Each structure stands twice: as C-alpha cells, then as structure tokens.
Structure 1
Amino acid sequence: IPGGESTTMSKLLDESGLRQAVLDFAKQRSILGTCAGMILMAKDADDDKVNPLRLIDMKVSRNAYGRQVDSFTTNLEMSLNGSTVSTKGVFIRAPRIISFGQDLEILAKVNDEPVLVKQGLHMASSFHPELSGNNNVHRYFLSLNRKPVST
C-alpha cells in the first residue's frame, strides 16, 4: 500500500469496495504499507477520518514528524533476516508509531522509535524505502511471500 493521503485512501477503499478484497488477500499474502500505507495497516490511527485495515497491532499518528517542509533523510540500520543492513530513510510527512502490541517485530528505529516493523505476514514503514537507492526492504518483503502459509 503506497504513500499518499491516508484519509482519501481510506475513503476510496470503502467507496470502491476494495476494503474486503484487501482484507481477504491479507489472510494469505504479505502486504507492505509505506507512509500512508502504514497508517492504513494499523489497528488504530489518531484521526477519525481514517478507517484502518487493522492488519498490524499498532496505533499511529499521521504527519507526526511534521509538515512537508520538515521532511528529512537519515541513515538507518535495519535488522533483516538476522543481518544488519544499512539504508537511507526518506521521511515525508511521515507517520509515527505511538503504541504497539508485544508481537510487533521492530526492524528499524529512528531516535529509538520504530520506523520499520513486521507482524506476521505484514510489514509497514514510516519512511519511503523506494527512495533509498537500494531494494533491501523490498527484497526482504518479497521473501515473506516465499514462506508457506498455513490456513
């Protein structure tokens, strides 16, 4: 689920009838949510205009790192498949995880706050991994779909 405007995306999921299709897909296959996609994947969001999919046990705050002018880039250390991998994190009006359940796996942090997480089949990122200059996050995400799923 890409970045964008989460309130609009939430509304369109309902108006288009795609919400149930996404939820059905999520039962068997991995989903990666980036920025606004992270907000939609959360169990709860701090904005009543967003109806999240509740795929990951976390509460997020929209635009918590500031407005567009406050966007920033930082180096991140990610824990992927037991290895530490470096990447560039590009944060554009990024959401912040403000609380989360005990089953959430934290893959990367900024200032001791989770910014890349995994729970079960699903991943979510506060930053835009597609702008990092490498495909480490996406390769890890694709590896999740190669594992057998029990029903």
Structure 2
Amino acid sequence: MSAGPRIGVLALQGAYREHRQRLEALGAQVTEVRLPGDLAGLRGLILPGGESTTMARLMTEYRLWGPVRDFHAAGGHLWGTCAGAILLAREVQGAPPQFGHQDSLALLDVTVQRNAFGRQIDSFTTEVRVSGLDAPLPAVFIRAPAFARTGEGVERLCSYEGQTVAVRQGTILATAFHPELTGDLRLHELFVNELREPVAS
C-alpha cells in the first residue's frame, strides 16, 4: 500500500494536534508547519481553528503570508476551519476594535463575519448537512464565523440557521465549524482523498 499524501497543519496556535490525529488516522503523512520551509513537498495545508488575531500575528512574525500564498498558487490545496477560514477570507468583518483590521490571505472570495453565532459561552454542537456527504455531520461551533457574502466562483456546501458555514472555491475548502473535534472523519477523508497520488498503471 502506497504512503498517503503529505499534508501540513499550520501549528502556530489552536487545534492543530486534533487535525494531525485525524489525518494520521486516514493514512496521511503530516507535517506541522511553523516556518516557510516546512511547506516544501506538501500537497495540502490545513489552517486550524484557534484565535485568528493571534494566528495572524504569528504568521507575520514567522513570515508565512507570502509562502502560503505561493504554495496555493503552485497548486497546493488549503482547508481552513473556524479561525483558519477567517485567515483565508478576502474580507473580514467584526475585527476587535483594538486591531481595527484583520489580516488575511485574501485567497477565498468571501466576506466572513467573526463570531456570527456568539461568543465562547454560546458554543454548541449540532448536526449539519454538507454537500457531498450522505448523512448529517456533527459540527462543533466555538465562536464560529459565518460567510456573509460568497463570490461568484464560491460553492456553498452547508448552511445552518440561514447562514453559510462551509464553502469551496477551487482547491480551497473552508468550514466555520470544527470537524476535528468530533470522531467523524468524513470531511478529513474528503480532503485526504483529493490529494492522493493517482495509482500507477
């Protein structure tokens, strides 16, 4: 059996360990990404949930903005969950007043609204229906954002209470919730399967 695809998880802050565990359970080779050189040889990169302003500050400190954009431009697949989805968005609403502006990669043609479902105390778990999956998916919402606007090339994959919470644009996937905090591996499996090398004939 051939080795699984090499996938990175941005490991600056947040739930990167949980993503790593899910990917390894599916046979992927996982690299924790902290520096630009860690992106070498990867086929995909997950930007995990956490605190988006802290993650943005650390991406600046470790000079990751340009290398991640270059990684995507060269064909790398990206998946952002919760805070990671905020980091992918072209426009971010609701940045903390002390920051005034939320830095992002601006690769995903969406406007994301921070904390669309309330603060930490309002966190909850529910089931959602995601396009491409044959049964509802358990989803953990923790200070979750929502996609208030989606561009013309963005596919809406899931909504909850009238708000879009999962989207895809080309090789970019973004989810407002945390699939890595449940035992359901189906979204991770979809991501891993997209990156598997074709079987040689």
TM-score (norm 1): 0.90
Could you tell me whether the CA contact under 8 Å between 1:89 and 1:127 is conserved in 2?
yes
| Structure 1 residue 132: Cα displacement | 2.6
CA distance in 2, matches of 1:44, 1:139: 29
Higher strand share: 1
> With CA pairs under 8 Å and 6+ residues apart, which has the higher RCO, 1 or 2?
1
CA RMSD across the alignment? 1.6
**For 2:77, what is the secondary structure of its paired residue?**
coil
Q: For residues 64-108 of structure 1, give each alpha carbon's deviation from its aligned partner in whole angstroms, at most 9, with x where no partner exists.
A: 21111101111111112xx53321010000011111102111111
1:101 partner letter: G
> Runs ≥4 in structure 1, deviation > 6 angstroms?
none
Counterpart of 1:99? 149
1:35 partner letter: C
Write out aligned runs for 1:2-151 (5 A): 2-27=48-73, 28-46=75-93, 47=95, 48-80=100-132, 83-146=133-196
Q: For residues 34-71 of structure 1, give each alpha carbon's deviation from its aligned partner in whole angstroms, at most 9, with x where no partner exists.
A: 10000000011012431110111001111121111101
Task: Provide closer, same or farther for how the CA distance between residues 145 and 109 of structure 1 changes in structure 2, counting only shifts above 3 A.
Answer: same
| Structure 1 residue 147: Cα displacement | 8.0
| Structure 1 residue 146: Cα displacement | 4.0
From the CA coordinates, give the structure whose radius of gyration is larger: 2
CA distance in 1, matches of 2:125, 2:105: 28
Indicate the percent of aligned positions where both proteins have the same amino acid.
Answer: 42
Structure 1 runs not aligned, ≥5 long: none
Could you tell me whether the CA contact under 8 Å between 1:7 and 1:49 is conserved in 2?
no
